[in-house]
Amino acid sequence: NANNFARRHRAVGLGAMGWHSFLQRNMIPFESLGAKQHTRAIFEHMREQADQATRELAEIYGEPELLKGYGRRNATVMAIAPTTSSSAILGQASPGIEPYSSNYFKAGLSKGNFIRKNKYLKALLEEKGLDNEETWRGIMLNQGSVAHMHQLSDHERAVFKTFKEISQLEIIQQASIRQRFV
């Protein structure tokens, strides 16, 4: 039963939300060495902190039956969880470790449909004097992509690629880097 499992394992799952948002806020293309380096550094740090916390909790509250002798309070400490609803509520961050599906989209929420614009792209367009209806209409007509926007540099277009434009191999490579820490 679930109650017994919870008592025996004390499983928790620290994860991430807003990975693509983090990269875009820092103008790091998803398909870059910098993204891979941040993946490793962030998830390694999260794992170290989670392991330290479970050891401290074991000292305070004791080890559960399954973990006697391991010096740990929790059987698992990391997870990759879906955070789609949470990311929408918490300031339109990208869900979990996923790339954004679009830079301009309609979000169907319980209170109705809302138009969402990528806030990091919006800030860049404001800087360049391009935050206007014509620009956003062009983005909408290109399925949320900015690949057609020659007013942006190659680097800027790379930063704001959507999941359809990002190499699936890149997504797998980043997952393989993260996996050793999850």
pLDDT tens, position by position, 35-91: 999 999 999 999 999 999 999 999 999 999 889 999 999 988 888 776 566 656 666
Question: In which band, very low, low, confident or very high, does the pLDDT at 107 lie, cut at 50, 70 and 90?
Answer: low
pTM for this prediction: 0.85
pLDDT at 86: 63
Phi, then psi, of 63 in degrees rounded to 5: -90, 140
CA distances from 39 to 30, 90, 119, 161 (A): 10, 22, 22, 18
CA distances from 72 to 3, 48, 63, 131 (A): 19, 13, 6, 52
Q: How many CB atoms lie within 10 A of CB 178?
A: 21
pLDDT at 11: 84
pLDDT at 112 over 80: no
Contact between 26 and 123 under an 8 Å Cβ cutoff? The reply is: no
Residue 97 CA to residue 176 CA, distance in Å, equals 12
* Vertex 97: Cα angle to 95 and 100 (nearest 5): 55
pLDDT at 87: 59
Reported as a single tens digit per residue, the pLDDT across 116-137 is 899 999 999 999 999 999 999 9
Q: What is the mean pLDDT of the chain?
A: 90
Contacts of 131 (CB under 8 A, 6+ apart): 122, 125
pLDDT at 146 over 60: yes
Contacts of 101 (CB under 8 A, 6+ apart): 144, 162, 163, 164
